[in-house]
Chains A and B, each alone.
Chain A
Amino acid sequence: MLILTAFIIAALVVVAQIAGQRRAATLAGDEPQSLHSRPIYHGLKSALWTGLVGFSILIVASVVSRQLIDTQLRASLPTDVQGYADIKKDRLISDAKAVGDGDIVSAPLDEGYKTARDALAQDYLGLKTLREWGISIGTVLASLAALFLTYRGIHRESRARNSSERIIRGGLFVSAGIAILTTIGILFSLLGETIKFFSNVPFYKFLFGTHWSPLSGVFEGVVDENTVGAIPLFAGTFMITGIAMLVAVPIGLMAAVYLSDYASPRVRAWAKPLLEILAGIPTVVYGFFAAITVAPLIRGSGEALGLSVASESALAAGFVMGIMIIPFISSLSDDVINAVPQSLRDGSYGLGATKSETITKVVLPAALPGIVSAVLLGISRAVGETMIVVMAAGQGANLTWNPLEAVTTVTVQIVALITGDTEADTAAGPAFALGFTLLCITLILNMFALRIVQKYRMRYE
């Protein structure tokens, strides 16, 4: 129903565009220059207003009415279920809605529950029909009104071009705003749970504790503050990140240098896209590549040398993560190396420097800020990477310096906490605290990277 309404509004938008354009063209007659704005802008203005009014009312009304229905249902709960616990009331309402929508419902708890549910479902159906009709008719009428008003408002002097530009600007502003607001929203939702967690556990126990086993106190329903030390997780994260960067930075950088300064245009034309495909491989695929291929390989060769290697080692995860990050480093570095002006290279060649001298002594130092920021972005990617480590790094919170042992990372533990079957309240606290800390780390890294890039830009423009 609501989808149909959306289609009707879309059709009205098209009508508005065509009608507005026609009317303006007719008004102009044989003198197109007598119009302030070209007919297409008159049509555009009409279409934009029609769409804007229709779709914004549609969206706002559907969200608000859903809330209203919930409130209404809660208010009209039969008296015999008023004594239910809140969580049971929630379940009753969602079950009633499911019955009303004809969805699959879990078996009712008892007879009273069932009658209450079915009665509520009837109420819900009525409200739902009312809501859909109300919204549909309302929005279509509003759209029509907008269409009519703008159509009537078309005059030779009306500044349709300026107003449609303004509307477009507004639309773009809203899009940018949504992205920013979402980020802020995520931050705050994390912050709320994190603060709740830290009200139970002192933050120094979390940041500096070395024992991680957050669910050991779960049967008492409390978090034991002595078992939520995140040091082993961060140590594991940084060890794997370190190994990954040891792989990614040299290889990525050298690939970038080759692509920008050594490769012939033909090689570059196919090698660069190919390298960027590497960035498009889903991390899940990297993950099982690490777990199924690389880890046994490392284990096998380690045993051949007489070393004991865990089947899930930090080395395997780090190595594969490094391969995953190569295209980031190489692609970003390639861009900054290319941005070093040719005149600097010429200056160096003109003094008799060889290609490698020019690159190591002039080009790379000039591109260094950009390369550093590429590396920082790579690090923040590695710190937040999840799939590879879930599959290849292990679960045990092991505090060790040995890369051949299994370690765990922050992201792996978040996954374990959230996907496990422990009660959400207990598991969420540590998970949110971890997530928040991780976010802070990557945020700081990204900010550093951005600042360095900005400084670098100022130098060459």
Chain B
Amino acid sequence: MADPTRSEYVTLVSCDGFEFIIPRSAACISGTIRRMLDPASKFSEALSGRCVLENLTGIVLEKVCEYFMYNEKHKDQANVPDMEIPAELCLELLMAADYLDT
């Protein structure tokens, strides 16, 4: 198996055990995850390529990952379409955004 510190994909784990495997570049949009995965930091997350996010439930983390991919996709675009957020999730997502620094 390849060295997890260099791997192209990382695994995000929610507090209720859902795992999401997404590209490292997308996950690093979040400042918190970027610092977690920084090889220089020698955190266990950086070594294993697996981040357990204790504050986020699977439902929220799914939406967060959707956002990561949305951001990755539209990074260099001029006209960015809006991303649909269900009303019942928007407050939790705001909290998650605060936690993830994104």
| A complexed with B | no
- Footprint of B on A, CB under 8 Å? none
